[in-house]
Every structure is written in structure tokens, then in C-alpha cells.
Amino acid sequence: MPRIRPSRRLSVTIGLAVMTVFASGCSSPGSGSDADTIVVSTFPFGVEEFQKAVVDPFTKKTGIKVKVQTGSNSDRLSQLQLTKDRSGIDVMLLSDTYVALGAKDKLFEPVDAEDVPAIKDIADFAVDDAYPGPAYSYQLNGTIYNTDKVTRKQAADWGLYGDPARSRRVALPDISASSGQLLVAGLGETYGDGPYDIDTALQKLSGWAPGVLQFYTSSTEVTSLLSQGEIVAANSLNGFATSLVAAKEPIAFQKPSTGAYMTTNRAAVPEGAPNSKGAHAFIDYLLGVTAQSSSAKTVGDLPVNPGAEIPDSLRAVVGDIADDPVKAGYKTLDPAEVLAVRDELVKRFAREVAGH
């Protein structure tokens, strides 16, 4: 069985929207950026909040202007694979699986503490030689549940999703969703030989599939199903619960009693970035206490810098886990192990699980 590294390594898949442009426009492939400008490629959600929490303060502090491009992980990585060192992008913010895929194709330059001093200040799990760039935020996999219908003890048990009493009242992530890989890892560890035991995980999911109302692909699907009372529980990332808990709905998030895994979003610099010096300055700012605290409050990102302030809105969902997720029992995955089974897992999930 592959060795589990309790303080490092993770994976996640997020599929969202087609590439769009925000704020000051788009830099076409190969157009680059001048010495006082960088191009940052990021996710298509929470962009206005990200601009307010990180981009504007960074520009004010350094004088470096930021052009923000947005799009899904898959769209942006595909574009980088096509353009390579002509992308014109200085910083890419991607989920870890996609950073690992890009690293496999040698699309990113290594970013270390010599370039970005703040790397020395972040949590151990956020720094991993298997990735070319550090993590700047993370999310926890667990169960979001209706507290009027499910107890905390029940929510901590994976068996909840196979309980006949809750047939067609639960939801699970599709393998393309953010928490899909973490679901498989949790089941592999709990019922099989470890987080990469996809045979056991898929067998378990295949048995549960008839009682699963929906294999979702987005956070809005989960929140809608819970709010409308169509389901009583769903396996998902903690961020999906934030708005529901803030709205005082009877919703809570629970860590699994076994097989608890987390995922990160990471900052990487593409090979041939037009302004690598500006890129390093941006990542350094992104990892600092000020940006980490502001991003946690405004965007809802769990911070990787232990000195950052964690807002009540996040503590209301994950409690003290936010202080040290590794100490709380969350683990990460080895990207090499994940990529080794990824293609097979995607095909088999569609055939053996979603097909039901």
C-alpha cells in the first residue's frame, strides 16, 4: 500500500466555466506584460471578492498592475498546453491536480523560498516538492447535512450514504467535481487498502448509486438540494456550507471519522512568464498574513499562513480544524499516485457508478 503523507500532498478536480476576462482585460497568447504589469489567471467564481481582498491591495503596495483572466481549471490548463511559453500569463492559480498535470508536461517554473520568502511562513502541508508552486488556500472534504434530519455521529460515518432509510435523500460528487477524488480516497482508506484503492471505492459507490439522488458537479446543485429539502446530506467541500450556515439554515459540516482528506489551490508560474519577478512578488503577497486574512474574510478561503486571522464565518463551519487541519486528522494525497490512476478512475466512475 502506498505510504500516506499526513502533512503534505493533495489533489482536487474542479470543472467550471469557459475562459472569460475580468477587470482590465485579457492578454492574448504571446502578448506578455510590461515590467509594471502582471497577468494572473484564476477561477471564475469570487473574482470581485478576490480583486478587493488581494489584487487591489497588492497594486497599492507594489505599484504593479494586475490583469485578471478567469476560467475553469481544465480550460486554462488546456490553453497553457497549447500556447506553452507564449501564454502571456505570469501567475496561474489552479487546483492541485491541474498543477500536477501541468508539471508533468513541464509547463511551470519552480517557485521556492528564494523567490518567494513568504513560503517559509506557511504550513508544511502547503509546501511540497511534488508541485512547482505553493498552496495558498485549502478546503476540507466532509459531509454537509441537515441537523434536523441527521445527527453529527451519523454524518461522520460513511455508511450514511448506503443507509436504506435515506435512499434518494443523499448526494455525492461526480468524479469531475472538486471533492470527487477525495470521496474515492476516503472510501478506499475506510473500506479497502488505502486512498488509492479505487477497486474497493468504486465497488462501494456502485452499491450505493441506486440510493443516491444525484452525483453533482457544482456547489449550487448541492446548496439547492439541501435548501429545498430534497436531500438531507451530501459529501462535499466545507466551502459549500458557508452561505447556508451564515443564512442560519439547519445545516452543518462534519469531518469523516475515517478517511478525511483535504485539497489545495496552488500558485504556479508558467515557463516563459513575461514578468516572473512581478509574479514572485504577487505570490509572496498572496501568502502573507495580510492577504491571507483578507482573503479568508472576503473570499472565504481557508488560509495556509498560521498567522492569518480566521473569520467567524469560517469557524462557524469548520471550528478549530482551521487552526491546524493536519493535527485535526486531515491528510493529503500524493499527486503521483493520483495521476497514475486518474484516467482509469474517470472512465470506470462513469461506467460503474454514474451509469447506475
SS3 at position 94: strand
Classified by CATH at the fold level, domain 20-137+264-319 comes out as D-Maltodextrin-Binding Protein; domain 2 (3.40.190)
User: Which pLDDT value is given to residue 3?
Assistant: 36
User: Which pLDDT value is given to residue 215?
Assistant: 96
**Helical ranges in 144-234 per DSSP H:** 152-155, 180-191, 198-208, 219-227
User: How does pLDDT run across 102-135, given as a tens digit for each residue?
Assistant: 999 999 999 999 999 999 999 999 999 999 999 9
Q: Tell me which CATH homologous superfamily contains domain 140-261+335-354.
A: Periplasmic binding protein-like II (3.40.190.10)
User: How does pLDDT run across 74-85, given as a tens digit for each residue?
Assistant: 899 999 999 988
Q: Is the pLDDT of residue 13 over 90?
A: no
Please state the φ and ψ torsions of residue 48, each to the nearest 5 degrees: -65, -40
Examine domains 20-137+264-319 and 140-261+335-354 and report if their fold is the same. Answer: yes
What whole-number distance in Å separates Cα of residue 52 and Cα of residue 238?
23
User: Which pLDDT value is given to residue 34?
Assistant: 65
Q: What is the number of other CB atoms lying within 10 angstroms of the CB of residue 258?
A: 14
User: Which pLDDT value is given to residue 177?
Assistant: 85
pTM here is 0.86
Mean pLDDT (the chain, rounded): 90
Contact 351, 207 (CB under 8 A): no
**Which amino acid does the sequence have at 64?**
I
Which of 13-22, 166-175, 196-205 bottoms out in mean pLDDT, i.e. has the lowest?
Answer: 13-22
Domain extent listing, the chain: 20-137+264-319, 140-261+335-354
Nearest to 263 by CA among 185, 333, 356, 162: 333
Nearby residues of 258 by Cβ (< 8 Å), 6 or more positions away: 158, 186, 189, 190
The separation between the first and the last C-alpha atoms of the chain, rounded to the nearest angstrom, is: 29
User: How does pLDDT run across 287-310, given as a tens digit for each residue?
Assistant: 999 999 999 999 999 999 999 999
Partners of 70 in the β-ladder: 20, 42
User: Which pLDDT value is given to residue 270?
Assistant: 97
